Amino acid sequence: MKGFARLYQRFRIAYHRLRPAYALLLGYSLYVLITFALLCLPFCRNVADVPIIDILFTALAAISTSGLQTVNFTETYSIFGQIVVLLGIQVAGLGYMTLGSCVILASKGHLSRNRLKIGQAVLAMPEAFDPRRFLRHIIIFTFSIELIGALILWICFAAAGTPNPLWAAVFHSVTAFCTAGISIFPDNFTSFADNTAINLTIAALCLLGGIGFIVMDDLYQSIKSRSLRTTLTTRIILVATLGAVCIGTLFLFFDSNLAEFPLQKRILTAFFQTVSALTTSGFSTIPMSNLAAATVVIVIVLMILGASPSGTGGGLRTTTWSAALAAVLSFLRGREEITFFGSTVPHSRTNAAFAAITLYMTTFALGIYFLLFFDTHSFESIVFEVASALGTVGLSYGITPDLSFGGKIVIMLLMFIGRLGVLSLALGAIALYHDISAELHIYHKVEDTPPKEEDIVV
């Protein structure tokens, strides 16, 4: 018993010394393994002979909040398996360190410095935010929004004659807010393409999850103080999100394949798919393969742009591409100073934005190469699948179940990288390189030091 306690103490010390990037990698990997182990239990599946790679794919899709699936989710997994996946999505959507921190806060404990750093890395919290208050608000916002969403969807699904409407409402409220895109409906939301209430509720949940907790907390504080003044970050996120949604909806509205729809359904479909791609939620009311090739390009761009920092979505993030856009506009105007809404954007922010874009697009290109190497699907479908996986979107061109073993591995790696963040992984890898280099330097320095006389073994 003492040996176990000593081992646990050493583990705690080692864990608290970890860099945030390593802790995130370790934490998410652990959650993937736990979800995978639970899904391997017989009572979690309706089908006995599901390949191990497909179970692992589902576990990773849940933790990465991506809706890509290699099997029919509803037919393959029982209600217990669906609950496991839903819990995995909820934990991953909030961030495992957020939940752990809030448990400590609820018990009136204190957050360690390392846990706060990891929480800031997960949620991209500005330094001006009070981490403890911010984490409390995250839990309140999350469960309040999901509860309201579930109640509205319950009424809508019941009115539409959906079997087991309460479970469908709870499941899709959580997956929509966490922008996971996994649905218990075999055709996703295609059968609800004409249902305005369901479309708008799901879209609202996706947008609330996608804009991020920073915006929600900032808006809450401004309303509470009656100042109605928000931070520059909030204004950038709201304007960038609104602009992208409007432009994306306009492009999708003019898709030739949607021209035959009634006007209301056409607008609703264009809006829903734009929100789904931009917030990386991955729900669909129309098969992606039914869209024109030009429209598919717009959807891919929206998936790459992605949601906002401190949100549940993936992609480049609104603050990243908007900072790069501000730099480009300033360059075209011949100005050295980069401004956004009259405020100066620090060069360090724009440098980080261009670094993130470069790393993201490099990973995107490598993903396309390796998926083309393993699979022989059309180039258009491969590019779409890679953009969806790296952005943790979940929209598919219909090729996910037909991927080869190597192709599934590539998509899983892309989903995992997309969940952790390309820039975070790169910074972690660089930090690891410097740590190893420092250790080797110390080692060689010790080796080059002549041993003392008492250290020489004869």
Q: What share of the chain is helix, strand, coil (3-state, %, to 5)?
A: 70, 0, 25
Q: 202, 273, 82: which is closest to 69 by C-alpha?
A: 82
346 or 418: whose pLDDT is higher? Answer: 418
**Does the pLDDT of residue 441 top 60, yes or no?**
no
Can you tell me whether residue 100 is helix, strand or coil? Answer: helix
Q: Residue 458: pLDDT above 70?
A: no
pLDDT at 215 over 70: yes
Would you put residue 281 in left (φ > 0), alpha (ψ -120 to 50) or beta? alpha
pLDDT tens digit sequence for 29-53: 888 999 999 999 999 999 888 999 9
Mutual angle of helices 232-253 and 318-332, in 10-degree steps: 90
> What is the phi/psi pair of residue 260, to 5°?
-80, -10
User: 314-335 as b/e, with b when 16 or more CB fall inside 10 Å?
Assistant: bbbbbbbbbbbebbeebeeeee
pLDDT at residue 204, as a whole number: 96
Per-residue pLDDT, 433: 47
Rounded to whole angstroms, the Cα distance separating 333 from 425 reads: 34
User: For position 369, what pLDDT does the model report?
Assistant: 97
Q: What is the pLDDT of residue 114?
A: 61
Torsion angle defined by CA atoms of residues 9, 14, 15 and 17, in that order, rounded to the nearest 10 degrees: 130
**What's the whole-model pTM score?**
0.85
pLDDT band of residue 107 (cuts 50, 70, 90) is low
Flag whether pLDDT at 376 surpasses 60. yes
